[in-house]
Amino acid sequence: MISAQKLTKKFGNILALDAVSFDIASGEFVFFTGPSGSGKTTVLRLIMRDLKPDAGKLVLAGPAKIHEYRRTIGTVFQDFKLLSDRSVFENVALPLEIMGVKPDDLQKSVKKALELVELTARTDLFPAQLSGGELQRVALARAIVARPKLILADEPTGNLDPKTARSIVNLLATLHSQLQTTVIMATHNADIVNHLARRVIALEAGKVIKDAPKGKYD
């Protein structure tokens, strides 16, 4: 599904990625780990086609047009990126509205997504009325509502306490299993990585230093 071949990316004089190579098959759950500045978010932004590599090659499955390609991706961010003036339902429905989904189909899809993340009782509430864990579950529902082929999660537990963080990642693993979608998560949370024991691609100073199935956070 994704093949990176000696990807290199610079920001000014800073070398964010240095000849990084990896392959990710459809349906995998992969952690990108490493300290801040190691290149995790840059990898995700390249996969999202928010950036272009300066050198190397990145082969991505999906439509050639960027706006069509991004419709095949669900994204989850550390700061949630929810609209404060929209309810839980309206935030989750947003990707479907952009895609022009019919109202009846939109209603069914949003209801199903909220059921999957166990937020049916919070449908009419607004972000300011929710806890941090609930906010991230809304973000997850929004990411999966259009049944994407790929979920990109960039430090989705960074603003959460350890117990809530683990529950969110357990939920993400459950959704991965149920939806059979590819999940790529960038994190420096060792507890979560060690708890799930999935494939780990570790970065340091823009280089891949480890690629291990059922890996641990070193």
In this prediction, residue 147 carries a pLDDT of 93
CA distance from start to end of the chain:
27
Superfamily of domain 2-212: P-loop containing nucleotide triphosphate hydrolases (3.40.50.300)
Instruction: Check pLDDT > 80 for residue 218.
Output: no
Nearest to 138 by CA among 166, 108, 171, 161: 171
pLDDT, position 159 = 84
Token pair belonging to 97: 């509205």
CA–CA gap between residue 43 and residue 131 (Å, rounded): 29
The 10s digit of each residue's pLDDT in 10-54 is 999 999 999 999 999 999 999 999 998 999 999 999 999 999 999
Residue 8: pLDDT band (50, 70, 90) is very high
